[in-house]
Chains A and B, each alone.
Chain A
């Protein structure tokens, strides 16, 4: 059960920015709705941070989409 090399690890991709723009929300507004700092929304959108399940559910609800519409698992190279 050895750990996969970093470049082979799965990462969580998301469509937060795309869906946020569609529902006409600013980062600050989305951050206020889900209870995080607006910078954290930036880190999430750029894929620099993978959210907890609770935060993923909150974001999906705020964007009016299901979790699997917002987040997908991307396989590393």
Chain B
């Protein structure tokens, strides 16, 4: 009984792996997706990714409501298209060749730098906001204190916090695809 069950488990596992590999191999290599892989397509995808991540993110932050649900769906969709565009090079080490490996490593290096810059900018903005708040609150009490004191009145709604977290997740996920570069494939 146990042996039959084991065999079925083993067979299911093998079938699953076979189907998964088959699908990945197909989407990675099928020429039907080549329209996503040339240079103009890379530029368009980069512009759309930035507009969606920052532009729509800001819009969702301001408007809240339903846009907070659309935002992660758009990020996921864009990540999928970017994966197709770069032939899933960030997903599986074992199937990429040395050119893809070296370009992928360069993309990671660039991505780390850019994410660092974006996060530093966010921290600077928060410090400035805190500074502003300190000045306003202390000036109202006839005090003057020119430096940020670390106090920060949070006026973010739960939805805004969620959108902020979605932005960070999107930034970390999409940045490596943006850092892959605009040069697309040629025939």
Q: How does the 8 Å CB contact mask read for B75-106 relative to A, with 1 for contact and 0 for none?
A: 00000000000010000000001111010000
Asked whether B186 lies within 8 Å of A42 as measured between CB atoms, the reply is yes
B186–A36 contact, CB under 8 A? no
Picked from A37, A46, A51, A52, the residue with its CB within 8 Å of the CB of B100 is: A37
* Inter-chain contacts of B16 with A (CB < 8 A): none
CA–CA, A55 to B99, complex, Å? 10
Residues of A within 8 A of B97 (CB): 35-37, 40
* 14 A-B pairs with C-beta separation under 8 A: A36-B97, A36-B98, A36-B99, A37-B87, A37-B97, A37-B99, A37-B100, A40-B97, A40-B98, A42-B187, A44-B99, A46-B186, A49-B102, A51-B98
What CA separation (Å) do A24 and B105 show in the bound complex?
A: 34
Interface size on A, residues (CB 8 A): 13
A9–B186 alpha-carbon span in the complex (Å): 26
Closest to A46 in B: B186
Does B10 make an interface contact (CB < 8 A)? no
CA distance A49 to B97 in the complex (A): 12
Which one of B97, B98, B99, B186 has the greatest number of beta carbons of chain A within 10 Å?
B99
Interface size class of B (residues with CB under 8 A): under 10
The 3 closest A-B pairs by CB, nearest first: A36-B97, A40-B99, A39-B185
Docked CA distance A44–B99 (Å): 9
Residues of chain A within 8 A (CB-CB) of B87 are: 37
Q: Tell me the chain B residues, 128-187 only, with Cβ under 8 Å from chain A.
A: 185-187
Nearest Cβ distance between residue B29 and chain A, in whole angstroms? 8
Min Cβ gap B9→A in Å is 33
Greatest chain A CB density within 10 A among B87, B98, B185 is at B98
Please encode chain A, from 52 to 75, with 1 for each CB lying within 8 Å of some chain B CB and 0 for all others: 100100000000000000000000
Contact of A40 with B186 in the complex, beta carbons under 8 Å: no
B35 to chain A, nearest CB (A): 15
**In the complex the two chains form, what is the Cα distance from A42 to B99 in whole Å?**
11
Query: How many Å lie between the Cα of A55 and that of B97 in the bound state?
Result: 10
B151 smallest CB distance to A (angstroms) = 49
Interchain CA distance A53-B162 in the complex, whole Å: 49
Closest to B95 in A: A37
Chain A's closest residue to B186 (CB) is: A42
For B100, list chain A residues within 8 Å (CB).
37, 40
Could you say which residues of chain B place their CB within 8 Å of the CB of A44? Answer: 99
